[in-house]
Structures are given as structure tokens and as C-alpha cells.
Amino acid sequence: MANQNIDYYNNNADFYFEKTINIDMSVARGRFLDYLPEGGKILDAGCGSGRDSKAFLEADYKVEAFDASIEMCKKASQYVGIEVRNLRFDEISYDEEFDGIWACASLHHVANDELPAVLTKMNKALKVGGAIFASFKNGNGVITSDGREYSDYTRESLKALFKKAGFSVVSIWGGDSSKSDKYIGEWLIIIGTKIAGDKEHSYKLTIDQERALKVMRSGRNVFLSGAAGTGKSFLINEYLKENKDKNVLLCAPTGLAAVNIGGVTLNRLFYVPTEITEPGSYTKSPSMAVKQADIIIIDEISMCRIDTFEYIIRTLHDIYKQKKETNDSAHIRKQVIVVGDFYQLPPVLKKEKEKEFEEKWGIKRGEDLFAYNSTLWEDMLFANIILKAQVRQSNDLEYLENLNKIRVGDSSGIEWFNTHVQRTPIPDAVYICGTNAEADSINQSEGEKLTGEYIVYSAVIEGKASLTEFSGIQELKLKCGMRVMTILNNGDEYQNGSLGQITALDEDCIGIKLFNGKEVIVKQHTWETYDYVVKEDKVEKVLIGSIKQFPIKIAYAITIHKSQGQTFSAVNISPKCFDRGQLYVALSRVKKIENMSISSDIKKEYLRTSKAVYDFYDDLDDELLGWEFDEHKWDDVNCSGIELEPRCEEKNYIEGIRKVNANAYYSWTDEEDQKLREELNRSLSVADISRAHGRTIGAIRARMIKLFGEE
């Protein structure tokens, strides 16, 4: 802070104290405290009058405060009742001590060239996942007014500074001079959270994750989502550790996704038919494992088609109904946790099956196939947890920011990628293509260039193992010199996605020289297939089959669909995309932008993101915002205990639902929300309200929770 600023506050301490002490900052403080644990420790940086320090103390937070003006320190110490240290920003020296830093109208006095170093000190002072609040005048350049000097910033310049200092920007608002609220209008307010920067901290939970765990522990059904790198898998693993004494089932829509989480496919666990199911159908003879389950976790929910989702939920409801009728209370309450990101690729529906699906469900391909389109999704009353803070180890914060723009369909991210990627192919990098034909053509062409005969390695299948639950290749046709990719982790030898060149082919081993220079011997791997069984009321995972094969694939090229879930050291991308979510998946396969090359400019028409998905997320009631969670509020709510709507036997599913509930699947309007408030004030029943609105009981319940926080 410049000496002229310090002199101003020293000379005008009484005036400034009286001017600022009664400004109402409760809304801004509330938004900041949303990211802090209860009773956490706060550093009030440049505390001025001490107004906010006192408010934090009264809310039972621990507070340290400092200010560069000795006279303001005296005033604040007397007002707050704690010792306020006399420090400049460049003099602070803390190491992971605080859960939050409050820098309200103070950092804007730091000179432009000094602010990066100060923000780095602030980052160091925070615990991993801790939050910083800061406010600046909206503008550009250095301004002098009333004897004080200010450094003004735009939204973009401010975000760039905070990201460079190691913060994930989770919220930025204000900067609109037309606003009636002078503080919100004139000022830009930013909240960032500290990203884990090294392996030493990678195990720590962020504030978002801690709160998410609290919701999950309540037993409530949960939809867990968030962009890549926000720690969804890590959070699930933490929850599994806490529930080792319960019957937990892990499952996923595809074999590869099931293998990745150490679970089984939905089809195997719930006996879902391979053909398109009829609306209203379910299995009347579920497995004993499902009957006895306490917690069911479904990963990669975005890949789960609406018909499969309904089949599963109706099966769970029927189990509950049977247990209720027979007074069997054992394992009657089941928690369902669905995990995934609907911005990624939509569920698969083969082209030849589209007509049949439309006839049965009244739904065409694309985002209409997502599970959230089911009315049963509303009936589940999911607590929506959207993780935002980046925890993945990465210093390329600008890359992550623009990648998330692509994720939500913001075309301003296209220009950044076009100007930051490599324009010549990266040697030895895998090619990622939009179609099978393009990938197959590259692989075949490159293989034919090599001399020598192909050697064929056939997978050995035993027991009830299925090729749909196998991430390898059934028949590997290999040559020496061929480029391949390992598809599993093997300690320090090689990782999933390691690229190299075959140096030797033997009956029981393959020699590969990785592109990092390391030479490794790859042996056959056994993929094990499991199922769940019940032994003495305890669900156990048992081996039912296996597939033995070398864990490698030919890796000159791969499709975008097959690359989902993979991370590569470097990629060459053919950016022409034809499906929603494809471009985002392709551009998110590496950790650093310098390891990406594209064959041509990304065009705006290649960015295909579903507006329906955007609207779905925009309308969600995120449990992590406006944090107030009553852990007992959901004691009587569970997935199987919800009374589902009468099953619709109409061929056109949505039309059939609308014959009973005319407004089903339509967006809520402000007028409807007001009508709902009035009806609740008149103490009408949920059933009566449902009939009045032409919506399902599940939709009414979900809307009540969104508007009022409880039913």
C-alpha cells in the first residue's frame, strides 16, 4: 500500500470509521461464509473499522485482523475487542493457517505490479480449499481520488490474476453501475478457493467436499456432479471408507465404467434387459444383493439411458413395496447416489433402434435420453451437489477456465484454444477423431506401413465374463515397431494412457519402449468379473469369471467416444465434432495445453452443447449454495419409500404422462411459483396442488424443496 494511502487513513481515522462502520455487508459476508466451515478461522486483511471482524466473531468464527494504518488499528481494536496488528500486505507471513481471508475494499490500494506477489502470500496463508473474498473498483488502470490511490480491474483481468496465484474463481459479481445498490454496482466482488498444488495436499477435502459428505451422511439420495478435476471420485471413495460396515453396491452403465470403479454393470446388477425396455417395466425377481443393499452408487449417470434408469428405480420401489407388505424392515431404506456430468457425451442409442425407442418412449436420440428427463428423477428428491473448486493437480488454470467454457457451450473459449494449441502434429501423440472410420483408417494405414507379419493374441475368456465388461481388445493384431498404448496402471512401470513402440513380441510378454525413454515388459492381465451375493445378511462381491489379455491397444488413433475417461500425455485432435459434448471430451484429455495439437481451427459449429442440459443445471437447487443443512430434515425420506406415479402404459411416454398431468416436463413459470406459494398458505394437500398445476406429485415436492427448502 502506498504511503499516501496510509497517511490518508492515519489522518482521517475518525471520519473513515464513522463513514464505514454501519455499512450493511451481511449479504456479501453470507456468500463468503458459504465456503467456510462452521467456526473456521478468518483473516480480516485490511480490516479498516473492524466492522466485519466483529460480525464474524459474533457468528462464532475465529478472527485475526490487520491494517496498514496504525490509527485504524487502534480504532478497530477498541471496537472489536481483539488486538489488530499493524501490517502492510507485503509484510504478512502465514502458512496454511486460515479457512478464509476477507479483503473487503482493501486490496484495491495495492499497486498493480505488487498485487500478484500479495495474492501469492494470501494463497499461502489459506488452507487447501480455503476461500478468499476481495472487492475492487470496476475499471481499468490507476485512479487517484481524495488523496488515495486505487488500482481498478475488469472482470477478466481480475479473474486472470487470481487464477495465476493458485485460486479457483468460484464466484464473481457486481461491476454494473446501473444497479441501485451502490456497493454491488460500483464494485467487483470476487471469491476464490485455494487449489491443491502438490501431492502432499491431494488427500485433503475442500469445504465443498466436507459439506457434500455431510449431506451424504444424512442418508438422503444424492446427485453428485461437477466439471473434470473437482474430486467426485475422491469424495465417493471417502464415503465408502466411512461405510465399510454397510451393504454398498457399486455399479455403472458400461463395462469399462464399472471396471474403473471396481463394480458391476447396471444390466448385471438389476437384470436390465439388453433390448429397449417398456415404460413401466421392472424386474419382479431382483437379486438378493439389491434387496439387502443399504447404499447404491451409480457412476457415470450421464451414460445411463432413461429407460434403464426407470427400470432400476421401479425395481427399487417394488422391493420397498414388498418389504412393507411383509413387515420386513431389514434394509428397507436404501440410499441412491448417482454421480456424473451431463455435459459429457449422451447415452448411446444405435441408429437402427431410434424408431423403436421413439415408438415406446416418445423420445428421440441425444439429450432427451438422459436419466434426468424421467419423472422418477424428481420423485427421488436428489440433493444436488455440484462441486466447483478445482482439486486436480494442475498449474494450467487458464486452460481449465476455457475448458469449462467449452463444457457449458460458451463459444468465447474457442478462440483461446485456437490461439494456444500446437498447429503441427506432436510426434508420437495419439490422434483423437470424431468417427470410427477416421480412427480405423489411421490405425490400419500406419500398421500396413510396417514390415513383418502380424502376430495375433486372442483373449482367454472364462466363466461368466462378458466382453462388454472388458476394456481390452479381444483379438490383438500386432507388429514390431507398432505404436501402442497401455490401458492399465502398473506401479511406476507404466500408467493408463502411456504411449510407446513395440520392441519385442513373445508368447507371454511384449517389450515396449515408452516415449519417455523407459523400456518395459508388459505381461498379460486378468480382468475379473464380479457379482454381488448375500451371505448371512452381508453383501459380498464374488468372482464369477475372467478375461486374460495384454493390456494394450493400437494407439495411432482413437475415437472421442472411446477416449472418454482416459488421460494422455499428448494428443493430436481432429476437431470436427457432430455430437453434443464431443468437443469438451476431446479437449479435456490432457492436463496441459502445450501437449495438445489440432489439425484445423475449431469452428463454432463444432461446439455442440445441449441447451436442455444447460437449463437442467441452471435450474438445480444446489445444496452447497446458501449453506444451511438440517441433518434431521430428511430422516423419513428414502428412495424406495417415495410413492411413485401410476405407471404409464402409453406408447408415447411423455404424451401419456401429459394425459394425466398436462404440464409435466414443462418449465416452471414465475406465475406458477406464486400460485404454489398461495396454495401452501391455504394449507392445500400436495395431491390437490398436483391436480391444480397439472404436474406429478414428485414435481410438486421437488419444487417446494427448491423454493422453500422443505416440504
Cα 622 from Cα 160, distance rounded (Å): 26
pLDDT at 142: 84
Q: What is the pLDDT of residue 134?
A: 95
Cβ-based neighbour number of residue 531 at 10 Å: 16
Residue 597, CB-side half-sphere exposure with 13 Å CA sphere: 15
Query: What's the mean pLDDT in 519-542?
Result: 87
Whether 614 contacts 623, CB under 8 Å: no
Whole-angstrom distance, CA of residue 554 vs CA of residue 456: 13
Topology (CATH) of 1-194: Rossmann fold (3.40.50)
Does residue 494 register a pLDDT over 90?
A: no
User: Mean pLDDT over residues 112-132, rounded?
Assistant: 91
- Predicted confidence at residue 367, as pLDDT, reads 59
Alpha helices in 449-526, H assignment, sequence order: none
Whether 366 shows a pLDDT value over 80: the answer reads no
| C-alpha cell at position 307 | 429407460
Pull the grid cell for residue 215: 449431506
For residue 380, pLDDT beyond 90:
no
- Vertex 277: Cα angle to 272 and 280 (nearest 5): 100
Q: 554 with 484: CB under 8 angstroms?
A: yes
Query: Are the C-beta atoms of residues 485 and 555 closer than 8 Å to each other?
Result: yes
CATH number of 207-387: 3.40.50.300
Q: Where are the alpha helices (DSSP H) in 181-246?
A: 182-186, 207-217, 232-242
Q: What pLDDT is stored for residue 365 in this prediction?
A: 64
Q: pTM for this structure? A: 0.62
Q: What is the pLDDT of residue 422?
A: 93
Report the distance separating Cα 65 and Cα 80, nearest Å. 10
Res 146: pLDDT: 76
C-alpha cell at 151: 488500482
In the predicted model, is pLDDT for residue 555 greater than 90? no
Going by pLDDT thresholds of 50, 70 and 90, the confidence category of residue 562 is confident
- Please say if the pLDDT value at position 518 is more than 50: yes
Q: What sections of 245-391 are H helices per DSSP? A: 255-261, 266-270, 288-291, 306-325, 354-361, 375-379
> Once rounded to an integer, what is the mean pLDDT over residues 430-452?
89
Does 631 score more than 60 pLDDT? no
Of the listed ranges 152-166, 390-404, 445-459, 641-655, the one predicted with least confidence: 641-655
Nearest to 209 by CA among 199, 198, 219, 217: 217
pLDDT in tens, 227-258: 876 788 889 989 998 998 899 999 998 876 77
The Cα 632–Cα 219 span in angstroms is 10
pLDDT grade for 648, boundaries at 50, 70 and 90:
very low
pLDDT of 657 above 70: no
Q: Please tell me the distance from the alpha carbon of residue 409 to that of residue 581, in angstroms, as a whole number.
A: 9
Residue ranges in 12-99 assigned as alpha helix (H): 13-20, 26-33, 51-58, 70-80
Is 207-387 the same fold as 1-194?
yes
Q: Is pLDDT of 136 > 60?
A: yes
User: At 651, is the pLDDT very low, low, confident or very high (cuts 50, 70, 90)?
Assistant: very low
pLDDT of residue 565: 66
Using DSSP's 3-state secondary structure scheme, residue 8 falls into: helix
Crossing angle of helices 653-660 and 354-361, rounded to 10°: 10
Torsion-angle region of 422 (φ positive above 0: left; ψ -120 to 50: alpha; else: beta): beta
pLDDT confidence band for 336 (50 / 70 / 90): very high
Read off the pLDDT of each residue in 78-92 and give the average, rounded to a whole number: 93
Cell of 586: 476431446
For 603-629, what is the mean pLDDT? 71
Q: Are 676 and 665 in contact (CB under 8 A)?
A: no
Give the amino acid at 359.
Answer: E
Query: Which residue matches cell numbers 411423455?
Result: 654
State mean pLDDT over 153-176: 84
| Average pLDDT over the chain, rounded to an integer | 83
pLDDT value at residue 669: 85
pLDDT at 327: 86
Q: What's the confidence (pLDDT) of residue 517?
A: 83
**How far is residue 235's CA from residue 102's CA, in Å, rounded to a whole number?**
28
Q: What is the structure's pLDDT at 200?
A: 39
Map out the domains of the chain as residue ranges: 1-194, 207-387, 430-567, 653-708
